[in-house]
Amino acid sequence: MSNKKKPTPHFHTLEEEAAFWDRHSPLDYDFRPAHVQFSPRLRKRLISIRIHESLLQAAKLLAAKRHIPYQTLIHALLEQKIREESRKAA
């Protein structure tokens, strides 16, 4: 049995990553520390939006399945969609 671990794949979406890890063991992959770029100028701003109760409940359920706060999930999904739409518009 080889001790050499596979490189961790790159994922384009949270759904793609979740599906991958549902089928693979993280013990088979090499988890090296990722380069993280932090900018103190990137501040989050508190806003208030109105969304349907059913959408909020769906977000909370999905976040619970991923073991993350629902606000974090909503932020990530919103950011992902805005980047996709920005690329299309460019």
Note the pLDDT of residue 38: 57
The answer to whether residues 2 and 69 touch, using CB atoms and an 8 Å cutoff, is no
Blockwise average pLDDT, block size 10, the chain, 90 residues = 75 86 85 62 86 96 93 91 84
Cross-strand bridge partners of residue 6: 29
Q: Does the model's pTM come out above 0.85?
A: no
- Retrieve residue 63's tokens: 């976040």
- Retrieve residue 59's tokens: 């977000």
